[in-house]
């Protein structure tokens, strides 16, 4: 909690709990990233919420994952598995401590309320109002912890859609994304990942950080609400704008772009190559490398609007030249002159490309047999680096310590809050 000197009694004077943060060695600089010292009570499950709290943990927050007696559903989402644990669960739960609490049990519900009372951030993705029966809704938490930032993630908000379950596949369908995905003459398709769950998780983190900034300035917490459908509609960006500002209902075009050409896969001698020459300079360099130096001067292809209008005439010219070499050879030649393009990889190829570019995409979190290869956080800080404190926890792994802490007087450091994170070790997958 942050209190403004001179604006009233401090948290200690009022008897309000304060989360204890990681302790730095003398002269060691920041102990655990930019969010060191924040305590997060995580009542979320599955993907959007756990993804958000994993990002907060990576940045130094102390995250306590509250699970029901059966655990997060994703523990059972298999295959694939690693050491009999769902890789789905492993993918979004590093850096956390787990306590299993049955909210129907009065003692466990009281422990959950005490955790929320001590937390800087509370995050949940129950149906709107679902935590009120346990005294864990925003109003109840704010009454005892007015500085708390309380984040709620729902499927369809708190209005008429409040009782509709929110799953990413539903939102892909309802938002219109599936109508935009697939071939024009074929059926709609879902995206290959739960894109709106991830997007909503990111939006929740943005909202939490903004609310923490406000709390740091005023001492006042607030309720941050995110819903999947709103995240989806804003995430449709140009398509949403086409409808909202232009009255146009876009339709699926396969891999083509409605407003840019060339911006799609094109065949080469051995496989397709994504070409994304989105401006006149890139298109000119593309044509130069392809041996088509006169094409950019053709009025039909001079500017993007011209190329988009005449794509059916331009595409065969490009395809004819691309057919003389393979995709990898073209990738090397075109990226050397700044033309955006790339082969269509499987995920192993994507990781290999990241390794080639020095991005170290995989880190091992944990020690010995508990070490788990995990995808590196994409954010890099120059002064307060991301850290990876703990592997994804087993169910109730930290329950005894956390229950004892919650039963003790407020002010005691949270279990493990002084643990120093590491920056992660590159994972040797060989």
Catalytic site positions = 197
* Angle of CA points 354, 32, 420, to nearest 5°: 100
Separation CA 337–CA 286 (nearest Å): 8
Enumerate the β-bridge partners of residue 43.
124
CB of 254 closer than 8 Å to CB of 184: yes
266-304 CB burial, b ≥16 within 10 A, e <16: bebeeeebbbebbeeebbbbbbebbebeebbebeebeeb
Largest CA distance in the chain: 78
Spatial neighbors of 269 by CB under 8 A, at least 6 apart, are 322, 323, 324, 325, 326, 327
How is residue 209 written in tokens?
Answer: 């950080």
Handedness of CA 208, 213, 214, 220 (dihedral sign): positive
Residue 368 phi, psi dihedral angles, 5° rounding: 55, -135
- In the sheet where 362-365 sits, what is the strand order? 372-375, 362-365, 425-426
Separation CA 401–CA 406 (nearest Å): 9
Separation CA 204–CA 201 (nearest Å): 5
Residues present in the chain in total: 430
- Strand bridging mode 372-375 / 362-365: antiparallel
- Calculate the CA 303 to chain-centre distance: 36
Q: Map 115-166 to HEC letters.
A: HHHHCCEEEECCCCCCCHHHCCCHHHHHHHCCCCEEEEEECCCCCCCCCCCC
How is residue 375 written in tokens?
Answer: 């995808």
Separation CA 379–CA 374 (nearest Å): 15
Separation CA 188–CA 175 (nearest Å): 13
């Amino acid at each position: 909690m942050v209190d403004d000197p001179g604006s009233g009694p401090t948290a200690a004077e009022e008897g309000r709990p304060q989360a204890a943060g990681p302790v730095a060695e003398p002269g060691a600089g920041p102990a655990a990233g930019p969010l060191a010292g924040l305590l997060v009570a995580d009542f979320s499950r599955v993907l959007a919420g756990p993804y958000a709290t994993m990002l907060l943990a990576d940045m130094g927050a102390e995250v306590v994952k509250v699970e029901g007696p059966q655990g997060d559903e994703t523990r059972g989402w298999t295959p694939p598995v690693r050491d009999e644990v769902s890789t789905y669960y492993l993918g979004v739960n590093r850096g956390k401590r787990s306590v299993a609490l049955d909210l129907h049990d009065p003692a466990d519900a009281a422990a959950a309320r005490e955790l929320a009372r001590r937390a800087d951030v509370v995050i949940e993705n129950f149906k709107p109002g679902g935590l009120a029966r346990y005294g864990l809704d925003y109003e109840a938490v704010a009454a005892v912890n007015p500085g708390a930032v309380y984040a709620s993630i729902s499927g369809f908000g708190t209005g008429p859609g409040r009782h509709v379950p929110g799953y990413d596949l539903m939102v892909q369908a309802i938002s219109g994304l599936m109508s935009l995905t697939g071939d024009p003459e074929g059926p709609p398709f879902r995206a290959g990942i739960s894109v709106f769950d991830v997007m909503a998780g990111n939006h929740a983190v943005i909202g939490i950080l903004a609310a923490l900034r406000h709390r740091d300035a005023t001492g006042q917490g607030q309720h941050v609400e995110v819903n999947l459908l709103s995240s989806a509609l804003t995430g449709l960006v140009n398509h949403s704008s086409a409808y909202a500002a232009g009255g146009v209902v876009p339709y699926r075009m396969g891999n083509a772009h409605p407003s840019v050409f060339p911006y799609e896969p094109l065949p080469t001698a051995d496989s397709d190559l994504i070409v994304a020459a989105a401006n006149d300079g890139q298109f000119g360099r593309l044509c130069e490398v392809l041996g088509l130096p006169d094409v950019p001067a053709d009025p039909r292809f001079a500017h993007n609007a011209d190329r988009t209008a005449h794509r059916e005439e331009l595409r065969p010219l490009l395809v004819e030249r691309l057919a003389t070499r393979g995709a990898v050879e073209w990738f090397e030649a075109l990226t050397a002159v700044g033309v955006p393009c790339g082969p269509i990889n499987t995920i192993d190829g994507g990781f290999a490309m990241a390794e080639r570019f020095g991005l170290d995409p995989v880190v091992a979190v944990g020690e010995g047999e508990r070490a788990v290869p995990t995808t590196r956080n994409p954010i890099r800080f120059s002064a307060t680096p991301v850290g990876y404190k703990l592997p994804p926890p087993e169910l109730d792994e930290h329950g005894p310590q956390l229950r004892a802490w919650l039963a003790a007087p407020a002010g005691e450091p949270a279990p493990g809050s002084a643990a120093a994170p590491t920056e992660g070790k590159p994972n040797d997958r060989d």
